[in-house]
Amino acid sequence: LFLNMDLEPPAHPFQDRQAKLRTRLEQRGLPLLMVTNPRNIFYLMGFRGSAGVAVLGSTEAVLWVDPRYTLQARSEARNVEVIEERGSITKAASTWLRKKRFKQVGFEDAQVTCGDYRALERETRGKIRFEPASGIVEEIRFVKDAGEIAQIRAACQVTAEAFAEVRPLIRPGTRESDLAGEIEYRMRRKGAEGPAFDTIVASGPRGALPHARASSKILAKTELVIFDLGAILNGYAADMTRTVYLGSRPGRRIRSLYKAVLEAQQRAVESIRDGVEGGAVDAAARRALSKHGLAPYFTHSTGHGVGLDIHEKPRLGRNDKTRLQAGCVVTAEPGVYIEGLGGIRLEDTVLVGPNGPEILTSAPMDGWTIS
């Protein structure tokens, strides 16, 4: 089996990505795409500001920014003409489109507000048909190039190292939010820009809330504690969850729950490879939990893509038909949540490698009891 996966980072990533977008626009019969999602702008041209409007067509590549971002855009943006606009950047882009006499333009409908959409229609005086085209850039982002994989790998390493450093501090009497703070501080010390999302530390019964944030609750003996953390580094995210037990001898029920989730996580990771449907990875985890009668306690999808966004395509959920490709980066994160008792979730960020799955978040899952 030959899989085309480049090992060297591309010399001109933005040029390559813009070329891919142009091909897709041609396929959809769209002359231009107006890009307003900041992550997509960063992906296509390297500008990391929080506001900008870009237009990309067969020969056109323009980025409008307000004066806060002029210097940054001039130094970061590649393969694009940067225009500073003191008024509304949406209005400036619309006027440009109208003057160029375009009849049809794709736009990111999932991103544009109703107010901005009205401004677009008003400024172009009904002469341009705006076609909903969200997801085009995200489809290209689905498969990561070697440079992106290196960034995600580094973010995952920082995440695993930060957890390893904080692990000796986990003990009864500590506050959830103090541990979350320690984790985020150590991520930054290791070069992260910060956490990719609010670090979750959920102890005891709070663990039954899959997305509980760290609170002022104090950890107590014989509790399970879920840690869900991820660093962001050069724009790329990592995502990892570990669960520990505060005590040296967890009871039989907790031991069997942990073993079942661990097995489900391993089955999910093993099933991650080129050509496999997202639903098949989900089914692998769910099957393992069903064997132990735990399927009803697994209340979310098995995983999701990770990249510039912490949650992006593909979704590894029930019956998901999207096929993974070499170069995708996804999570495998089955869990069980039991009211009153708490929760157990184990999550890795996994690269779909040319020869199968590669775990990027390499913190151990055995040795989960803390005495």
What is the residue whose two structure tokens read 């990592």?
Answer: 238
Nearest distance from C-beta of residue 312 to Zn ion, angstroms: 11
Q: Does 331 bind Zn ion (CB under 5 A)?
A: yes
Nearer Cβ to Zn ion (116/176): 176
- The distance from CA 204 to its chain's CA centroid, rounded to whole angstroms, is 27
Which range, of 27-35, 40-48, 73-81, 330-338, touches Zn ion by CB under 5 A?
Answer: 330-338
Nearer Cβ to Zn ion (274/333): 333
- The distance from CA 306 to its chain's CA centroid, rounded to whole angstroms, is 3
Nearest distance from C-beta of residue 150 to Zn ion, angstroms: 21
x/- track of binding to Zn ion for residues 11-50 (CB under 5 A): ----------------------------------------
Nearest distance from C-beta of residue 349 to Zn ion, angstroms: 8
Which range, of 95-103, 127-135, 237-245, 320-328, touches Zn ion by CB under 5 A?
Answer: 237-245
Render 15-40 in DSSP notation, one character per residue. HHHHHHHHHHHHHTT-SEEEE--HHH
Q: Does 312 bind Zn ion (CB under 5 A)?
A: no
Per rule CB under 5 A, count of chain residues that contact Zn ion: 5
Nearest distance from C-beta of residue 329 to Zn ion, angstroms: 11
Nearer Cβ to Zn ion (241/325): 241
Render 152-211 in DSSP notation, one character per residue. HHHHHHHHHHHHHHHGGG--TT-BHHHHHHHHHHHHHHTT-SEESSPPEEEEGGGGGSTT
Nearer Cβ to Zn ion (21/244): 244
Q: Does 282 bind Zn ion (CB under 5 A)?
A: no
Nearer Cβ to Zn ion (97/352): 352
Nearest Cα residue to 35 out of 120, 165, 133: 133
Is the backbone of residue 70 left (phi > 0), alpha (psi -120 to 50) or beta?
Answer: alpha
3-class DSSP assignment, residue 71 = helix
The CA distance from 44 to 41, in Å, is 5
Nearest distance from C-beta of residue 240 to Zn ion, angstroms: 6
Structure tokens at 259: 């073993």
* Residue 114 C-beta-side C-alpha neighbours within 13 Å: 0
Strand order in the sheet with 348-353: 312-316, 303-305, 329-332, 348-353, 356-359
Which range, of 96-104, 288-296, 326-334, 335-343, touches Zn ion by CB under 5 A?
Answer: 326-334
Which range, of 50-58, 210-218, 269-277, 347-355, touches Zn ion by CB under 5 A?
Answer: 347-355
Nearest distance from C-beta of residue 89 to Zn ion, angstroms: 33
Nearest distance from C-beta of residue 333 to Zn ion, angstroms: 5
The kind and range of the H/E element at 284 are: helix 278-291
Q: Does 182 bind Zn ion (CB under 5 A)?
A: no
Nearest distance from C-beta of residue 347 to Zn ion, angstroms: 5
Give me Rg for the CA atoms of the chain: 23
Nearest distance from C-beta of residue 21 to Zn ion, angstroms: 27
Which range, of 38-46, 236-244, 255-263, 316-324, touches Zn ion by CB under 5 A?
Answer: 236-244
The CA distance from 22 to 172, in Å, is 56
Tell me whether residue 309 is exposed, middle or buried, using C-beta atoms within 10 angstroms of its C-beta: 0 to 12, 13 to 18, 19 or more.
middle
Which range, of 11-19, 250-258, 294-302, 341-349, touches Zn ion by CB under 5 A?
Answer: 341-349
Q: Does 228 bind Zn ion (CB under 5 A)?
A: yes
Which range, of 116-124, 227-235, 242-250, 255-263, touches Zn ion by CB under 5 A?
Answer: 227-235
CA quadruple 139, 145, 147, 153: dihedral sign: positive
3-class DSSP assignment, residue 245 = strand
- Give the residues lining the site for Zn ion (CB under 5 A): 228, 239, 241, 331, 347
